[in-house]
Amino acid sequence: MLLEEILTKITKNQNNVAYTVGENQYTYKEFYKYVCNIYRVLLIKNSSKRPVIVYGSKEIFMKATFLACSFAGMAYVPIDIGMTENRINSIIEQVKPELIIGNLKSNIKNISRNEIEKIMNEENYIDINKIYLQPDDIFYIIFTSGSTGLPKGVKVTYRNLESCIEWLKYITKIEKGVILNQASFSFDLSVADLYLSLVSGSNHYILEKQEQLNFKLLFEKLNKSKATLAVMTPSFADLLLLDKSFNENLLPNLKTILFCGEKLLKTTVSKLYERFKNLEIINSYGPTECTFAVTSIALTKKILKENNIPIGIPKKDVEIYIVDDKLNKLKDGKVGEILIVGQSVADGYIGESKNSFIKYNGKNAYLTGDLGYKKEKMIYYQCRKDNQIKYKGYRIELADIESNLLHLNYIEKAVVIPKISESGKVTKIIAFVKLKENIEKKELEIRKELLNKIPEYMCPTIKIIDKFPLNKNGKCDTKKLIEGV
Ligand code: AMP
């Protein structure tokens, strides 16, 4: 299985670079030592095998801890340092861990970053002698935006991940090389680069948050990386494309870009093909609830003649149906909800009744909330049927922002609306708020207080208004609100 395969690859590639972050590079030999040392400590300090929270920002100890957890038979829960305190508390409350790794203050047993780095580096380590994780055990729990205002944790099993990585190996034709990482480990986009690097003995090349914010540094890093495969969101590619030097001279070894996470536009693909002559572009689709992705297509120039780029065909152990509200299958060309059935469907949310997780023909299924249609076997994404959006590649429930605004006790009403460009991309999120009587607050003050509750990428521009315009049905006229911005 996957973990045995990874163990073999690590042992076979001892002298190759396993991980590059900042100025540091680590070989597979070092990485193996880290994993072995952490594994021993986990078996002692987390004997209950409760899920382990791993808090950090893509340091090597995070990846080593993830793998050590899996070998030791426990799930891991990645939390990025960009997460706010109240959301971290909610995650801790939901997960009920007995061990946290990283610099997180709480009353749970904790191994700090310094301590874990010391443990990792002990020279007299013992090999991994037993892999404890079973196929139906939870491999990781990734938290995503929830409409109640609290993050919800998706439980992904070993079986789910195994099937995902087998498929990713096949569609990317993975070879040993350099795999570029964009996403934080708390987003499921990173699952592809985390595990493809391990199964191919590749160098996992990390782009840190601060490097991504500084174009000069970012381009230097990209050039140094000699990346062969990049996993990214279309928004990140659009950002890179703003600079003319993002081309095959900058990344001469780049063979494949694997996209996932949001709608891929024709303009993005066309520009990439102009700048990289021999690049393969793969569009893949799927929610965290279905383990990274479930459909894919390698885009040919012929496909670019279509207006809407397809999201591809399902992986072989998954079926996808386009259904109406009563779960009746719709005919080709008809728009309905995308229903995912089969091996990739996760084990539900932590602590929640399974709501969108259903049984379909006796199999595990997930109602995505995405609208789409089929043409022959090819699937096309159209839009969401609810108030979930993608902004700069991040998944956000608008109700999550609204609910957190209403927790500021001076706000009477809040309506959060995305501003959408002609091409269908969210360019801004605006929160219209009405204050309670006799309250004096500035828009920036509200934003600052909201930043204590939700991460920066979710935080909208605030507009204070006295009255919400109503439409003919007496509901808030969101069109009118957004027109004025
Ligand atoms: P996440 O759980 O963050 O991966 O977000 C999942 C959601 O992102 C899906 O339900 C879709 O709405 C959207 N999404 C993911 N991949 C694609 C894609 N290739 N095209 C369009 N939307 C996508």
Question: What are the tens digits of pLDDT across the range 315-365?
Answer: 999 999 999 999 999 999 999 999 999 999 999 999 876 689 999 999 999
In a domain, 380, yes or no: no
Question: What are the tens digits of pLDDT across the range 33-57?
Answer: 999 999 999 999 999 999 999 999 9
Using the atom order of ligand 1, give the atom closest to the CA of residue 187.
3
Q: What does the radius of gyration of the chain's CA atoms come to, in whole angstroms?
A: 23
Task: Using the 3D structure, point to which of 298, 329, 361 is the last residue of a domain.
Answer: 298
**Residue 128 — pLDDT band, cuts 50, 70, 90?**
very high
% of the chain residues with pLDDT over 90: 92
Q: Is the CB of 262 under 6 A from ligand 1?
A: yes
Identify the pLDDT of residue 354.
62
466 CA from centroid of ligand 1 (Å)? 36
In a domain, 180, yes or no: yes
Task: Using the 3D structure, point to which of 263, 298, 333 is the last residue of a domain.
Answer: 298
Identify the pLDDT of residue 413.
95
What is the pLDDT averaged over residues 273-278? 95
CATH number at residue 433: 3.30.300.30
Question: What are the tens digits of pLDDT across the range 315-328?
Answer: 999 999 999 999 99
Q: How many domains does the chain divide into?
A: 2
Ranges assigned E (strand) in 299-356: 313-314, 318-323, 336-342
Q: Is the CB of 288 under 6 A from ligand 1?
A: yes
345 CA from centroid of ligand 1 (Å)? 15
Nearest Cα neighbor of 344 from 393, 284, 264 is: 284
191 CA from centroid of ligand 1 (Å)? 14
Write out the two tokens for 188. 């499921």
Mark residue 457 as left, alpha or beta (left: phi above 0; alpha: psi -120 to 50; beta: remaining).
Answer: alpha
What is the pLDDT averaged over residues 261-282? 96
216's CB contacts (< 8 A; 6+ apart) are none
| pLDDT tops 90 at residue 485 | no
Four-point Cα dihedral 386, 389, 395, 401, nearest 10: -80
Q: Is the CB of 395 under 6 A from ligand 1?
A: yes
In a domain, 150, yes or no: yes
Q: Is the CB of 337 under 6 A from ligand 1?
A: no
Provide the 3-class DSSP secondary structure of residue 25.
strand
**Residue 3 — pLDDT band, cuts 50, 70, 90?**
very high
Q: How many CB atoms within 10 Å of residue 223?
A: 14
DSSP readout, 84-100? -HHHHHHHHHHH--S-E
Does the CA dihedral 28-34-194-75 come out positive or negative? Answer: positive
Q: Is the CB of 380 under 6 A from ligand 1?
A: no
DSSP readout, 159-174? HHHHHHHHHHHHHHT-
- 254 vs 148, higher pLDDT: 254
What is the Cα–Cα distance from 51 to 141, expressed in whole angstroms? 8
In a domain, 158, yes or no: yes
Specify whether 124 is located in the same domain as 235.
yes
Angle, CA 353 vertex, CA 347 and CA 356 arms, to 5°: 70
The preferred substitution site among 187, 257, 288, 381 for testing ligand 1, maximizing ligand atoms within 8 Å of CB, is 381
70's CB contacts (< 8 A; 6+ apart) are 3, 76, 131, 133, 139, 158
Nearest CA to ligand 1 atom 10: 287
What is the Cα–Cα distance from 138 to 115, expressed in whole angstroms? 26
Task: Using the 3D structure, point to which of 283, 298, 313 is the last residue of a domain.
Answer: 298
Using the atom order of ligand 1, give the atom closest to the CA of residue 259.
19
Question: What are the tens digits of pLDDT across the range 98-125?
Answer: 999 999 989 999 999 999 999 999 999 9
Identify the pLDDT of residue 359.
96
Residue 378 pairs in a beta bridge with 375
The preferred substitution site among 80, 263, 380 for testing ligand 1, maximizing ligand atoms within 8 Å of CB, is 263
Query: Are residues 179 and 202 in contact, defined by beta-carbon separation less than 8 angstroms?
Result: yes
Nearest CA to ligand 1 atom 15: 261
Does the CA dihedral 179-2-285-191 come out positive or negative? Answer: negative
Q: Is the CB of 193 under 6 A from ligand 1?
A: no
| pLDDT tops 90 at residue 152 | yes
In a domain, 373, yes or no: no
DSSP readout, 78-145? EEETTS-HHHHHHHHHHH--S-EESS--SSS-EE-HHHHHHHHT-SS----------TTSEEEEEEE-
What is the pLDDT averaged over residues 409-416? 96
Identify the pLDDT of residue 423.
86
Identify the pLDDT of residue 248.
98
- What is the span of the domain harbouring residue 119? 2-298
Q: Please provide the average confidence, as pLDDT, over all residues in the chain.
A: 96
Specify whether 413 is located in the same domain as 275.
no
Output the pTM of the full model. 0.96
344 CA from centroid of ligand 1 (Å)? 15
